[in-house]
Structure 1
Amino acid sequence: MADAGGEGIGVNYGTKGNNLPTPEQVVGLYKSRNIGKLRLFDPNPNVLNALHGSGIQVIVGTTNIVPHAGSVTFRCVSIGNEIIPSDVAQYIAPAMQNVDRALKAAQVTAPVSTAVSMSVMGPSPRPSVGVFSDVAAPTMSAVISFLAANSYPLLLNAYPYYAYDPKYMKLDYVLLNSTTVIVHDGNLGYTNMLHAMVDTVYTAMEKVGGQKVEVVLSETGWPSGGGPAVATVEYAKIHNNNAVRLAANPNGTPKRPGKGLETYLFAMFNENLKNEGTEQHYGLYYPDMNEVYHVDFP
């Protein structure tokens, strides 16, 4: 199936739990909440089968997808999740090219990308000076060159939660809750950290030939427990509802206005087989499909 385009809101569907609903129940939950996009970390055949004919756009990791291509709309195929920087990062760009060739040969139309975190960035105190780190830059240059040549997006995992430093930042800025500009950067103003993070990456991409490469926010979220004082249900609710609101806003980011920021919340469920602490508390839902807190999906 042809890939569907750009804007809107999705939710990551993680499966690291031994008490989660069936894939069919999960797909039904997505549809009942009008969540039209889903990110899946591995090509789980049971999940992909449940998605047949659902109309939900899917970002999927790795590529056992040809059997499902006629019945599932693949938004993107992600080669690796936060592999850059690492000792195998150099293989990412060639793998992306190989998978792209294989998909085209199989007549599957889906962008090929990789998901990176903010750890690919060098010191970037404001969006206008964004730069990839010395260790990540060679790989990112190759990745961005491939994406630019094919008009494919870069997948970005960005969490203001992890960057929050109460000594230097207003909580409203990190919770995406301010309506006034908090950070001034030349003639651009930022009311929230998420847009600042994304625009920092846009600046870095421009320096390596990615002037037209789009960012898809493949993960953002806030834990509702299991950690520091700010990991609360109330703050998670505020952050994620604001992330949905920003995704739906056609004005986009200050640096790239005019198009909404396609955004995937992390994650659908609390997953009890993840590492103890906040990792187990990112879900919008408990495994019994009751809400941890309510998110207003458009």
Structure 2
Amino acid sequence: MSTTMLLLLGILLLSVTGAQSIGVCYGNNGDNLPSAQDVVNLYKSNGIGKIRIYYADEAILQALKGSNIDVILGVPNDNLQSLNDAGAATDWVNKYVKAYSPDVKFKYISVGNEVEPNDPKAQYVLPAIRNIQSAISSANLQGQIKASHSIKTSLVANSYPPNNGVFSDSASSFIKPIVNLLASNGAPLLANIYPYFAYKDNQQSITLNYALFTQQGTNEVGYQNLFDAILDALYAALEKAGASNVKVVVSESGWPSEGGVGTSVQNAGTYYNNLINHVKGGTPKRPNGPIETYLFALFDENRKNGDETERHFGVFRPDKTPKYQLNFN
């Protein structure tokens, strides 16, 4: 094979790998959203190869059959206690995973989402992950599917400079056993990474350009954007917890288009476009990319609780028209 052909093949492989790193989270907390089949068709028509869903919605699981879309399937926090029973975990995996496999390409099970260390539910996360992974193994799917948990990055203290990152004293007893289990299972840690909220809460120290990937040049500790700094602080914390081999999958990242400080369609579009391009590579601490990343979220969700921004994270409008011009692949 000629040198030119080899070079072209290498570029093609790099572009495919980059494309495979991007997914989109599908939340459906709205009263004006399309059907499950229309949602899957929207993923396919836009070349979006990965989806995160937050509970075992059988309508979307049926629609995903034969789609070849990688799936993160969520276990809601309210179900964690019941899955501390090994039999219940087996039943859950048999009903929602084994019954749909291999027609649905499950990749990760997110056993709980952003459970706070002081939440009474926190005690159930580790046993539930262990039981779900055991049930996956019993179904002979352990080579394909890994059980994990999606964390907030607020569990990391001393996050600047990023090399000083460490799990906080209040989070340590909760998260360290979890990441040690993930390390032994060869599973990644799922993390929801939001430069928007860090910027909103600390505008004295964080510029909009740094948060939107538009800063020119690096800062005094070698970082050009906030996303990398947050992610590398988490990697530093994992190293200090004895789990340096655990990969981080960015299970959510997004920017709201209205409802708060720094929100506009222009800023959000800039963030999503730059994020998609950026995660084809790595971070200063983990330079070998791509970074598997899931944009939050597919649609604006008009029934979400909380601040007004929570209802404006969609990259598509409920009528399926794009809010931004994004190239997912």
TM-score of the superposed pair, with normalisation by structure 2: 0.84
**Is the 8 Å Cα contact of residues 117 and 158 (structure 1) preserved in structure 2?**
yes
- Normalized per residue, which structure has more helix? 2
Select the residue among 54, 69, 72 that pairs with 2:104: 72
Q: Using the alignment, how far apart are the partners of 2:36 and 2:268 within structure 1?
A: 25
Q: Using the alignment, how far apart are the partners of 1:146 and 1:183 within structure 2?
A: 36
Select the residue among 266, 283, 294 that pairs with 1:264: 294
Select the residue among 207, 212, 220 that pairs with 2:245: 212
Partner of 2:87: none
Q: Using the alignment, how far apart are the partners of 1:209 and 1:84 within structure 2?
A: 21
Q: Using the alignment, how far apart are the partners of 2:125 and 2:218 within structure 1?
A: 38
Q: What whole-Å deviation, never above 9, does each CA across 1:182-204 have from its counterpart, x for those lacking one?
A: 241xxxx2111001101100010
Q: Using the alignment, how far apart are the partners of 1:179 and 1:65 within structure 2?
A: 46
3-state SS, counterpart of residue 297 of structure 2: coil
Query: What is the total number of aligned residue pairs between the two structures?
Result: 287
Shift of 1:28: 0.7
**Is the 8 Å Cα contact of residues 152 and 191 (structure 2) preserved in structure 1?**
yes
Q: Using the alignment, how far apart are the partners of 2:195 and 2:301 within structure 1?
A: 21
1:126 aligns with 2:161: yes
Q: Using the alignment, how far apart are the partners of 1:130 and 1:36 within structure 2?
A: 32
3-state SS, counterpart of residue 169 of structure 2: coil
Q: What whole-Å deviation, never above 9, does each CA across 1:37-70 have from its counterpart, x for those lacking one?
A: 1100111000010000100000011253221122
Query: Superposed, which structure 2 residues align to 1:226-265 within 5 Å?
Result: 226-228=259-261, 230-249=262-281, 252-265=282-295
Partner of 1:30: 43
Shift of 1:154: 0.3
Letter in 1 for 2:106: F
1:16 aligns with 2:35: no
Query: Superposed, which structure 2 residues align to 1:1-298 within 5 Å?
Result: 8-62=21-75, 63=93, 64-85=96-117, 86-109=119-142, 110-164=145-199, 165-184=202-221, 189-228=222-261, 230-249=262-281, 252-275=282-305, 277-298=308-329
Shift of 1:179: 4.3
More deviation in 270-279 or 205-214? 270-279
Shift of 1:75: 1.4
Residue ranges of structure 2 left out of the alignment (5+ in a row): 1-16, 76-92
Shift of 1:84: 3.3
**Is the 8 Å Cα contact of residues 254 and 272 (structure 2) preserved in structure 1?**
yes
Q: Using the alignment, how far apart are the partners of 1:57 and 1:80 within structure 2?
A: 19
Q: Using the alignment, how far apart are the partners of 1:282 and 1:16 within structure 2?
A: 12
Shift of 1:297: 1.6
Q: What whole-Å deviation, never above 9, does each CA across 1:106-146 have from its counterpart, x for those lacking one?
A: 22230110000112112322110101111110121101111
Q: Using the alignment, how far apart are the partners of 2:141 and 2:185 within structure 1?
A: 15
User: Runs of at least 4 residues of structure 1 off by over 6 A?
Assistant: none
3-state SS, counterpart of residue 68 of structure 1: coil
3-state SS, counterpart of residue 259 of structure 1: coil
More deviation in 59-68 or 232-241? 59-68
**Is the 8 Å Cα contact of residues 284 and 294 (structure 1) preserved in structure 2?**
no
Q: What whole-Å deviation, never above 9, does each CA across 1:61-104 have from its counterpart, x for those lacking one?
A: 12532211221111100100001322221221111111100111
Letter in 1 for 2:208: L
Q: Using the alignment, how far apart are the partners of 2:257 and 2:100 within structure 1?
A: 35
Letter in 1 for 2:326: V
**Is the 8 Å Cα contact of residues 158 and 197 (structure 1) preserved in structure 2?**
yes
Q: Using the alignment, how far apart are the partners of 1:115 and 1:65 within structure 2?
A: 19
**Is the 8 Å Cα contact of residues 255 and 263 (structure 2) preserved in structure 1?**
yes
Residue ranges of structure 1 left out of the alignment (5+ in a row): none
Instruction: Report the aligned-residue RMSD.
Output: 1.5
3-state SS, counterpart of residue 279 of structure 2: helix
Identity %: 41
Letter in 2 for 1:222: W
TM-score of the superposed pair, with normalisation by structure 1: 0.93
Q: Using the alignment, how far apart are the partners of 1:254 and 1:125 within structure 2?
A: 14
3-state SS, counterpart of residue 60 of structure 1: strand
Q: What whole-Å deviation, never above 9, does each CA across 1:260-281 have from its counterpart, x for those lacking one?
A: 1111000000111112611110
Letter in 1 for 2:279: A
**Is the 8 Å Cα contact of residues 173 and 182 (structure 1) preserved in structure 2?**
no
